[in-house]
Amino acid sequence: MASLLTISAQEKETFTLTIEVSITKYDKGSILLALYNSKENYMEKTYRSSNVSVKDKKAVILFENIEKGSYGFSFFHDVNDNKKLDTNFVGIPKEPYGFSNNQKGTFGPPKYEAVAFEVNENKTITLRIK
């Protein structure tokens, strides 16, 4: 009986999170995305990350084996592929960026509650970057 309990505790239900990005301005570079799995880790400790090249003004990011729960993400379009978010002299991003739920920050990133979404089934999120 104990072995059955051990097996069921180890086998957690997982899902696939797909993020489809369409880009209207630049057909080059990459989409860098950081996925967070809790309010405590948000903008501090990345749960998973992705770096996907833009091709034909599109990028598809796939995260497999995502456990049921609350998530949020931040991303930017690394137009020049230098692996960093380029900013102007006062720190304002020069490359397109954003957060889940189409949130934008004001003097910093939006709160986790604004970007959070639930994963409890296979999920596809569509983003449009201008």
pLDDT tens for residues 22-47?
Answer: 999 999 999 999 999 999 999 999 99
CA distance 61 to 67: 17
In a domain, 106, yes or no: yes
Secondary structure (3-state) at 33: strand
**Structural domain contains residue 4:** no
Q: Is residue 43 situated within a structural domain?
A: yes
- For 75, the domain range is 20-129
Alpha-carbon distance 18 to 60, whole Å?
Answer: 7
Residues forming beta bridges with residue 117, ordered by sequence position: 71
Token pair 């489809």 in the structure block, residue? 20
DSSP character for 87?
B
- Residue 14 in domain: no
Residue 1 in any domain: the answer is no
Q: How many domains does the chain have?
A: 1
Within-domain flag for 100: yes
Q: Average of pLDDT values for 10-21?
A: 90
Q: Using an 8 Å Cβ cutoff, are 76 and 97 in contact?
A: yes
